[in-house]
Amino acid sequence: MCGIAGFINNIDNSNAVLGKMLNRIRHRGPDAEGEYIDENIALGHRRLSIIDISSSGDQPIFNEDKSVVTVFNGEIYNYKSIREKLISAGHRFTTNTDTEVLVHGYEEYGTDILNMLRGMFSFVIWDKNKKQLFGARDFFGIKPMYYAIMGKTLMFGSEIKCFLEHPHFKKELNTQALENYLTFQYSPTRDTFFRNVYKLMPAHYFIYKDGKMTVKRYWDVKFSADEKPELDEWVKRISETFHDSVNAHKIADVEVGSFLSSGVDSSYVAAIADVDKTFTVGFGTDEKYNEIGWAKNFSKAIGKENTSKVITPEEYWGNLEKIQYHMDEPLADPSAVALYFVCNIASEKLKVVLSGEGADEIFGGYNVYSDPDGTLYDKLPRPIKRGIGSIAEKLPAHRGVNFFVRKGKDVEERFIGNAYMFTPEQRKEILCIETDAPDPTEITKPYFSRVKNQDDVTKMQYLDLHLWMMGDILLKADKMSMANSLELRVPFLDKEVMALAEKIPTRYRVTHDKKTSETKYITKYAMRLAAKQDTPEQTADTAAKKKLGFPVPIRVWLREEKYYNLVKTAFESDISQKFFNTAPLVKLLDDHKNGKADNSRKIWTVFTFLIWYRVYFENNGSY
């Protein structure tokens, strides 16, 4: 696991600028630094040595005549089989790293090498003869890639913060991203919070030649249910495929550990990975916010060592600036801070850890997926439900009222992902600036259109795989692990696992719980049955306990005087007044403190942005 940075366009002090850019991302790879600079390009690399840990694995890495050079961030789990094919084709290797298969694979197959890879990656390859830069990001977006074109300079790297060191970089806030963020709690499009800085989207590659950038998609999820196999067969296939993925993800020349919460995903990973160490964090003693006791008992049951930490409120709040600095863009997911701490305790003992991200999106695990057509109310004619929903929208927000509002809309109208913070009307009320941000449904529409003939569960999964997972789940996974110089691997997010999951019928992803007369659904049904074969029964029970995943008690803290006042000061600050109307923000805070409503997530969304803005625009990218 590593970090990359670089730029096209010769400047007088390329060496010094590249050195500063690499220093910004030193946390991604403290073991070694490498550079390649010629009259056209500067390529830099920071290395966290995992495979071929000798110096022969240092990057950049070249082909035989040094006409092709690459810097790479990630892991290619099937590199040995690709290497054998390339050697048979006449290519000569000088290292034992997975990186070198990219160089020779590009020579042999061009951009088609991407479809041969199994792993997580972002990389660039400079072809000196063609004067062409080829860059790519993995299938799910596990590893980040950002780029900016300013004047005649192309900058690229694993983190935006390295661009701050380039003399041609112009730092400006993208206010459209701010308005989108207020709804999604993350930046949902290729645009970032920095104007003219973009994400290379998952499963895309680019070619940059003669000042022109061409971006193309090379892979996509294709749900196509196979109705023939029975449930037992699907359970068998999931078990076999996932065991294979975990084994592939354990390839390393250093020790590998595993994160552990009380959910089935991380428990499944930890149980079959046969690692020696697991890691857990929690808050206080309330079981709603602390899974440490459960994790220790589970680790003992599978014969492993568990390391845990109770995060104090002071530690949590005291590290918010550091967290948003490492995030590059504001992310209003409170669990990101918990993830930072569990990465921190793991990094004290090893370099690589496995985690359960992706299982919910791939196998249908979120509770919201059990919502479609799950009640007698759903049997009513659509016009009646829409009419009732229209009336309900005019009433004060309440759990019962929200049910009718939700049921009165098609999934394409109401679902934007696992978080829906501020509606377009609400965000206009709190903002004192005008932007050209689109309606949230304009952002989700292209994704829904690709699965328009699928059922609602599949539509929601497809959207989450492309927006929520990239913008929230994988952003925090990469940035929080790399902030601690820790490689985080996600065996559920494997090309072979996805190829299997695409074919599982919806009824085996989300099914009705026949043990109860209530309208109750079981999510990740087939996967839970597969996990049950390898984990203690209470972990993989098909009616498993509610998913927590390092829960954070911000709802409680925001009602305490100390933290209420801290947030109120931020809401009334000069920074806040550049973007927000103070009165509605303070009302959100007061109503929450007085128990009139749970506004904790909306409050946190605005507060997080203000922290991030202070770090990058008031403190010039420092904390």
Q: What is the mean pLDDT of the chain?
A: 92
Query: Are 38 and 70 members of one domain?
Result: yes
Is 404 a domain residue? no
pLDDT by residue (tens digit) across 101-110? 999 999 999 9
pLDDT at res. 17 = 97
Same domain? For 479 and 562 the reply is no
How many C-beta atoms lie closer than 10 Å to residue 188's C-beta? 22
Do residues 140 and 206 both lie within one domain?
Answer: yes
Let me know how long the chain is. Answer: 623
Do 501 and 585 lie in one domain? The reply is no
What pairs with residue 42 in β-bridges?
Answer: 7, 37
Indicate whether 529 and 557 sit together in one domain. no
393 domain-assigned: no
Q: What is the pTM of this model?
A: 0.93
**50 shares its domain with 102:** yes
Q: Is the domain of 194 the same as that of 67? A: yes
**Of the residues 217, 241, 272, which one is the last residue of a structural domain?**
217
Q: Is residue 406 part of a domain?
A: no
Question: Is residue 122 one of the residues assigned to a domain?
Answer: yes
pLDDT of residue 56: 63
In this structure, the answer to whether residues 14 and 114 fall within a common structural domain is yes
Interatomic CA distance for residues 75 and 490, integer angstroms: 11
Is residue 545 helix, strand or coil? coil
Task: Pick the last residue of a domain from 217, 251, 272.
Answer: 217
Buried b (16+ CB within 10 A) or exposed e, 440-465: beebbeebbebbeebbbbbbbbbbbb
Note the pLDDT tens digit of each residue in 567-597.
999 999 999 999 999 999 999 999 999 999 9
501 shares its domain with 597: no
Q: Would you state the pLDDT for residue 406?
A: 73
Judged against a pLDDT cut of 90, whether residue 243 lies above it is answered with yes
Residue range 437-455, pLDDT digits in tens? 999 999 999 999 999 999 9
Pair 476, 359 in one domain? yes
Q: What domain range includes position 561?
A: 553-623
Q: How far is residue 521 CA from its own chain's centroid?
A: 26
Total structural domains within the chain:
3
Active-site residue 432, yes or no?
no
Residue 67 belongs to some domain of the structure: yes
73 with 96, same domain: the answer is yes
- Judged by DSSP in three states, 303 sits in coil
Residue 398 falls within a domain, yes or no?
A: no
The last residue of a domain, from among 183, 217, 251: 217
| CATH assignment of the domain containing 80 | 3.60.20.10
* Cα–Cα dist 418/49, whole Å: 35
Same domain for 346 and 314: yes
